[in-house]
Amino acid sequence: MNLTYTPEQQAFRAEVRTWLEAHVPKAPLEHYDATREGFEAHRQWEATLKSGDWGMVTWPKEYGGRGLDLIQWLIFEEEYYRAGAPGRVNQNGIFLLGPTLMEFGTHEQKQRFLPPMASGEEIWAQAWSEPQAGSDLAGVRATALREGDEYVLNGHKIWSSRAAFADWAFGLFREPGSERHKGMSLIFFRLDQEGVTRNPIRKINGHVGFAEIFLDNVRVPAFNRLGDEGQGWHICMATAGFERGLMLRSPARFQEAAAALAALWQSRKGTCDPALEADVVRAHMNAEAYALNIYQTASRLMAGAKIGPEASTNKIFWSEMDIHLHETALAILGAEAELLPPTGEHEWLDDYIFSLAGPIYAGSNEIQRNIIAERMLGLPR
């Protein structure tokens, strides 16, 4: 692996840094899961990004992107986190559904859905999990009955991130009577259309980051099905690969957190257990190792490879790294960690609580270890 940046890549980094320094809001936005106002403020930030063609830099220009490669996307992400820019409210769209649409969608579907996704005009929720089907996604019971040029959707989805305020959702449905991995399709539906009921789920911090969705004879055009009928499981596994192995958790997220942890240690090491220094160093090493691995993955994809079951090793690594990093921060802060930080300072406690969900969402780590055992190591079930 060549670990040096080309002159063109360095120039691109300078361009990104200059633009972000001129446009990132000076004061933090209210969190997009806190209120409708916070959500809409982040939607407006997405429009600001699009004004500079930064909505999703890897997408072709005709779909709202810049036509850049994955290495340039990683550079953009590094500068984005360095600048302290707002969180991406449309991450379900641009990081998960978008790449999947690029691979499986028709030209007409890409033209219809990608540009408003890149601009933030349409914000997406993920509607896969159900009360009895989470990490075991093949257990979904929501149905899609074909009637002419439409599907009639029925069922109950839960833990749908961004669904409290989003415009659209991409859901996994099955043909009535089908079982497990057969007869499933990925279908888009609007969250404000007739027959859709969404109930926000309030988290421990008061935010409504999730919602449950009830679908009662919801009619959508067949145009909203991604890929072939019955291809849903295969398509969702491709989306999960992007989620676990590349797009959802940018290395820059953890590199910036590790740098903040190092600064916290430097400011407080005189009153802390000296043994914690080893954990601070470990957090830095983990973040750098993860970044190098993602650069390697991006290089492989640019050379024509596909994301495979090795994405499960990535998912386990970043989720457990995140917990360790934030446990170390709380250990440094001691009882002070329970106090609300001043506005604009790192929210270590909130981030720690969120990190605890990492081994669960995007497929629980127990399931990921099964995938590694069966599909990578060839062990018997």
- pLDDT, tens digit (0-9, with 9 covering 90-100), for 339-349: 877 656 788 99
Which residue type does 2 have? N
d(CA 36, CA 123): 13
157: pLDDT strictly greater than 70: yes
Superfamily name with CATH number, domain 124-230: Butyryl-CoA Dehydrogenase, subunit A, domain 2 (2.40.110.10)
- Give the angle subtended at the CA of 207 by the CAs of 206 and 208, to the nearest 5°: 120
Q: Are 124-230 and 249-376 equal in CATH topology?
A: no
pTM: 0.87
Locate 248 and state its tokens: 């959802």
Mean pLDDT value across residues 311-332: 94
Task: Determine the pLDDT at residue 300.
Answer: 87
d(CA 137, CA 132): 9
Task: Determine the pLDDT at residue 247.
Answer: 67
Q: Is the model more confident about 3 or about 80?
A: 80
Q: At what angle do helices 232-245 and 311-333 cross, to 10 degrees?
A: 40
The CATH label, of 3.40.50.10320, 3.40.50.720, 1.20.140.10, 3.30.70.2740, for the domain at 249-376 is 1.20.140.10
Give the number of other Cβ atoms within 10 Å of residue 372's Cβ: 16
Percentage of residues in the chain having pLDDT higher than 70: 96
- Let me know: does 254 contact 321? Beta carbons within 8 Å: yes
| Residues belonging to the active site | 243
Mean pLDDT value across residues 293-303: 87
d(CA 328, CA 202): 27
Q: Where are the domains of the chain?
A: 7-89, 124-230, 249-376
Mean pLDDT value across residues 282-304: 91
Task: Determine the pLDDT at residue 309.
Answer: 82
Q: How many residues does the chain have?
A: 381
37: pLDDT strictly greater than 90: yes
Helix, strand, coil shares, percent, the chain, to 5: 50, 15, 35
- pLDDT, tens digit (0-9, with 9 covering 90-100), for 164-213: 999 999 999 999 988 888 899 999 999 999 999 999 999 888 888 899 99
For residue 130, CA distances in Å to 102, 135, 167 come to 26, 10, 20
**Residue environment code for 28-45, b if the CB has 16+ CB neighbours within 10 A, otherwise e:** ebebbbeeeebbbbbbeb
- pLDDT, tens digit (0-9, with 9 covering 90-100), for 214-242: 999 999 999 999 999 999 888 988 877 66
260: pLDDT strictly greater than 70: yes
* 288 phi, psi to nearest 5 deg: -70, -40
SS3 11: helix
Which residue type does 194 have? E
- pLDDT, tens digit (0-9, with 9 covering 90-100), for 107-128: 999 999 999 999 999 999 999 8
Locate 349 and state its tokens: 């406690």
